[in-house]
Structure 1
């Protein structure tokens, strides 16, 4: 694969630390919407095969916890819970029990979508992120403190799924994380790099005492970091179920932390937390060539946007433009980014929490209608359209203003398949890196409410994704399951962190595996590309200069910068006449795959 600065590194070696970026300055300098977490290296990975079960996650210790559950006869949901609990400890910048999640689950017979997205407080309104004059506040004011914290959803969601699909006792799933929290874990290169980079975390006294030494410097790589507060919290939840989090000491502690922020208090109360409900929703499933692709429905925008991209690329058929000698072609990038422009235009205009805001016309069906997508695909020509207009689906009955959400979740992803025919894809997030930079009871609080639009209306009317009491902010999280259209067998589970670019990251893996016949590790390792209805974005140093020039000649405004995905994937494939699982993890992060 083409790379201007090759980083051929052994997976066994620590990831090299790149020069830490100041995100706002970097964005200003490049004009690019940078990822919420900095890049910390690139280590080639080979993928792994297994016969019975498999799990892949963003940190080796978390993967190991999920693997232990599968080894003990657990279901995929058991593995996911154990994995998430360890991620709360070892990858606090990305996800945890103080955040939210979307989960797609297949038991081999049906596909279910679980919504663990955070909710806005009961006293929040559309002016939450506006000053006294009705103008949007700064990003820093929005994110840092109590104002941005929504009622966490991940534990209620996992409990709901576990009651339906779990095979191991709830309490048993907490053992690996509790032991690691008590005994300590070694600070990874990635966590250390994020601590060095972040400018806000040390403002919180609790986080400062935990993550930084007496000299004010971040805990170094390899430092044995113990978290007895989290061990206590997890013990209570292991014994008392999710109610121990939502209706007792922990909820009161969260509410007090949010209300007590010295400069930016929030509105979240213990009653808001106690009233939180995870929801099961109808997944967004659509046929693409020989497959059925299923994703998360609103308030996630990922399922709809990816289905739209695939529907457009089915008309424009991207399959002939596969990489040549590992290098992406100009035509392949052109089609992919133009499809992205069209999908993101609709996403930005229409998609929000459908408990509050209807989708146009007949809902999901209108946005995925084959005739509508054929009409959208017809807008793709030889030259880039630059910026796409949102479409008008048939029977459309609503019109909304343009969204101004920050939409930069710091996130993690895990996938698992079990020995019983079950499989899942789960994306989990605290939103920005280290969330609201508020630590309580051993974990970080989310700043997920900044995924709402800061503006509440424009000249076209109210904005669909504006803040409303009890509403869930729109997300780009895109857990995805792919099935063979004929046999209905699960053939691929995948997903990624990466803010609003998640949609492009996941779509890249789907095109790579389904259209270009790559294995999932090869597809994950492909250069990240796409457009969020702005510039054509290319992963820095990963696309040949000649291809870049061809794109520019076709009218693309090209931006090359770090596109820091964290993809995981497991696919079904045949080797030696036998079916097996093959898993891949993103070379841009610390994730690994384990299975038997």
Structure 2
């Protein structure tokens, strides 16, 4: 038996589950081109004895690992890797976006940082309605100045570094600065996404950078140099957030937004006034574990804890992960969690969000009784936890798209960090400033401010943070020691990618690479969704017989997992659907 099997096997049942997973992957068709990464054949987790980082790009992972070897903290490693991701994976995250970060140290315990973007002071609830009062087409809203919120990533990471950084702030930018000046090779994923892009070319800076003279996307392997990005990072390295939120960088952001053909109303005051929030983490029990996630304005922590709590009465350890029973139970729990998400989750600075009530064991135990072990109950209605009236808020059906990234790290002192960051849609608002792209996160607000006259909690308002599904997660044992760091990109499907990963780690006791290789399924309170071309087609007929409406679709997750080994060191898994890498020493 291999070391990995010794660590994660759980008797004959776990071996059977691993065999089932391997069979499904072996018979699955190749992932779609946009998911190809060169790592699709990886079946074993990577181990390191001292420290580890997992990101969606090898260059970013290598930069983070170098910081860890220099004695940097887990937070330091994520910062250095994030600056590289903003360069080599600009479609997903960057300086012009935001994020959520969880970290854990023996001194501070679990800490939670909110770097979500904020709406300009002039934003109004009808921001994404046309003259007839109808929601704008998403494609029209997203590639516009209206979609841009005040970016939060730089301020959030600076705040986290001040508390938990070990290396100088300026040193963390050096790997990305060097890479921006020397150049990096266009990856297959970046090339494919550029090939599908139809709106990025409208921005002159982006067109010159991402496309050839004849308008074709830069080919795979071509070298991109971004001295403007290097100069922006130098300002941030020297001046901290002031180098970004004030001065010439801020002025150029405001000018680009206000002078866009579909202008927005972002101002210098909006940028100068941006503040990250350090919020209480949202933690709850599952079996012998303590699961800690991000609270509102992310819906991820609530929804993940709800799904786990709703399933706690079922013995999933005896249910193979790729069986119809597992898909059925999991999807039914997802319906209930997403029904609550649509109704109650929003910015807690402006809306009363009943987070504690939504994850209370009593509420989840009662709500779990709605799950029939055999038949689907179809679309779910939001619940009414103690002290909350369902009629107080309208249903929000705002889209949330999957161009996001996730990073996890453990340092040599055992400190852990898990961060999800994003510019929202692929290439954000398609507005490029000083080497980076601006977000379109304001389209995560509800386009409709009310639902049949009832206000939507996640409607647009000045200074408000849009709801998110980002779900950075840390798992602690009964001694309060972090054992797992988990997270994923993927739009609103993030919630399912993370919750299923936690079940696979704790119930089915699979190793990290086996977990991220698993095909996906779940329901967002609509159809039961199965990942296409990953061997799940055989489940569709059985689920339909149980009353499910089944839809097969691509699910391009990018899950990153790092797990502490009982004997010391760490095991990691990087999602084969993207270009991730596990690195460390």
TM-score, normalising length: structure 2? 0.93
Q: 1:560 aligns with which of 552, 562, 565?
A: 552
2:204 pairs with 1:210: no
Q: Residues 222-244 of structure 1: CA distance to partner in whole angstroms, max 9, x if unpaired?
A: 00100011011111111111110
Q: Residues 281-339 of structure 1: CA distance to partner in whole angstroms, max 9, x if unpaired?
A: 0111000001000000000000000000000110233221123xxxx000000011100
2:332 pairs with 1:351: no
2:568 pairs with 1:579: yes
Q: Which residue of structure 2 aligns with residue 44 of structure 1?
A: 41
CA drift at 1:573: 2.2
Aligned pairs for 1:447-458 (under 5 A) are 447-458=440-451
Q: Which residue of structure 1 aligns with residue 283 of structure 2?
A: 285
DSSP-derived class of the 1:136 partner:
coil
Cα RMSD after superposing both structures: 1.4
Q: Which residue of structure 2 aligns with residue 31 of structure 1?
A: none
CA drift at 1:595: 1.3
2:360 pairs with 1:369: yes
Q: 1:404 aligns with which of 397, 407, 419?
A: 397
CA drift at 1:397: 4.8
Does structure 1 retain, via aligned residues, the 8 Å contact 2:112–2:280? yes
Q: Take 2:519 and 2:482, find their aligned partners in 1: how far apart are those partners? A: 26
Q: Which moved more, 1:181-190 or 1:391-400?
A: 391-400
Aligned pairs for 1:543-554 (under 5 A) are 543-554=535-546
CA drift at 1:568: 0.3
Q: Which residue of structure 2 aligns with residue 121 of structure 1?
A: 120
CA drift at 1:579: 2.3
Does structure 1 retain, via aligned residues, the 8 Å contact 2:128–2:136? yes
Q: Which moved more, 1:43-52 or 1:73-82?
A: 43-52
Q: Which residue of structure 2 aligns with residue 509 of structure 1?
A: 501
Aligned pairs for 1:526-545 (under 5 A) are 526-545=518-537
Does structure 2 retain, via aligned residues, the 8 Å contact 1:7–1:43? no
Q: Residues 64-106 of structure 1: CA distance to partner in whole angstroms, max 9, x if unpaired?
A: 1101100100001110110000001000000001000000010
Q: Residues 445-466 of structure 1: CA distance to partner in whole angstroms, max 9, x if unpaired?
A: 0000000000000226100000
Does structure 1 retain, via aligned residues, the 8 Å contact 2:51–2:569? no
CA drift at 1:17: 6.9
Q: Which residue of structure 2 aligns with residue 336 of structure 1?
A: 330
DSSP-derived class of the 1:182 partner:
helix
Does structure 2 retain, via aligned residues, the 8 Å contact 1:58–1:413? yes
CA drift at 1:39: 3.1
The change in CA–CA distance for 1:4 and 1:418 in structure 2 (over 3 A counts) is: closer
TM-score, normalising length: structure 1? 0.92
Greater per-residue helix proportion? 2
DSSP-derived class of the 1:405 partner:
coil
Q: Which moved more, 1:543-552 or 1:291-300?
A: 543-552
Q: Which residue of structure 2 aligns with residue 183 of structure 1?
A: 182
Does structure 2 retain, via aligned residues, the 8 Å contact 1:108–1:490? no
Q: Take 1:185 and 1:306, find their aligned partners in 2: how far apart are those partners? A: 37
Does structure 2 retain, via aligned residues, the 8 Å contact 1:5–1:541? no
Q: Which residue of structure 1 aligns with residue 411 of structure 2?
A: 418
Q: Take 2:139 and 2:536, find their aligned partners in 1: how far apart are those partners? A: 36
Does structure 1 retain, via aligned residues, the 8 Å contact 2:28–2:534? no
The change in CA–CA distance for 1:341 and 1:542 in structure 2 (over 3 A counts) is: same
Q: Residues 5-45 of structure 1: CA distance to partner in whole angstroms, max 9, x if unpaired?
A: 6467xxxxxxx872xxxxxxxxxxxxxxxxxxx43457132
Q: Residues 116-158 of structure 1: CA distance to partner in whole angstroms, max 9, x if unpaired?
A: 0000000001011011222111111210121100000000000
DSSP-derived class of the 2:499 partner:
helix
Q: Take 2:131 and 2:223, find their aligned partners in 1: how far apart are those partners? A: 46
Q: Which residue of structure 1 aligns with residue 249 of structure 2?
A: 250
Q: Take 2:143 and 2:155, find their aligned partners in 1: how far apart are those partners? A: 25
Q: Which residue of structure 2 aligns with residue 431 of structure 1?
A: 424
2:272 pairs with 1:236: no
DSSP-derived class of the 1:594 partner:
strand
DSSP-derived class of the 1:61 partner:
helix
Aligned residues: 558
The change in CA–CA distance for 1:243 and 1:409 in structure 2 (over 3 A counts) is: farther
Q: 1:388 aligns with which of 364, 370, 380?
A: 380
CA drift at 1:548: 2.1
Q: Residues 238-294 of structure 1: CA distance to partner in whole angstroms, max 9, x if unpaired?
A: 1111110011111110000000112x1001111101100001001110000010000
Aligned pairs for 1:141-152 (under 5 A) are 141-152=140-151
Does structure 2 retain, via aligned residues, the 8 Å contact 1:148–1:266? yes
DSSP-derived class of the 1:147 partner:
helix
Q: Take 1:377 and 1:329, find their aligned partners in 2: how far apart are those partners? A: 20
Q: Take 2:453 and 2:25, find their aligned partners in 1: how far apart are those partners? A: 44
Does structure 1 retain, via aligned residues, the 8 Å contact 2:145–2:258? yes
Does structure 1 retain, via aligned residues, the 8 Å contact 2:29–2:535? no
Q: Which residue of structure 2 aligns with residue 525 of structure 1?
A: 517
DSSP-derived class of the 1:87 partner:
helix
DSSP-derived class of the 2:212 partner:
coil
Q: Which moved more, 1:295-304 or 1:393-402?
A: 393-402
Does structure 2 retain, via aligned residues, the 8 Å contact 1:17–1:193? no
Q: Take 2:319 and 2:306, find their aligned partners in 1: how far apart are those partners? A: 19
Does structure 2 retain, via aligned residues, the 8 Å contact 1:478–1:502? yes
Q: Residues 323-360 of structure 1: CA distance to partner in whole angstroms, max 9, x if unpaired?
A: 3xxxx00000001110000000000010000111102x
Does structure 2 retain, via aligned residues, the 8 Å contact 1:357–1:464? yes
Q: Take 1:421 and 1:238, find their aligned partners in 2: how far apart are those partners? A: 27
CA drift at 1:544: 4.3
Q: Which residue of structure 2 aligns with residue 482 of structure 1?
A: 475
Q: Take 1:7 and 1:551, find their aligned partners in 2: how far apart are those partners? A: 21
Does structure 2 retain, via aligned residues, the 8 Å contact 1:116–1:157? yes
Q: 2:298 aligns with which of 296, 300, 309?
A: 300
Q: 1:92 aligns with which of 80, 90, 105?
A: 90
Does structure 1 retain, via aligned residues, the 8 Å contact 2:442–2:466? yes
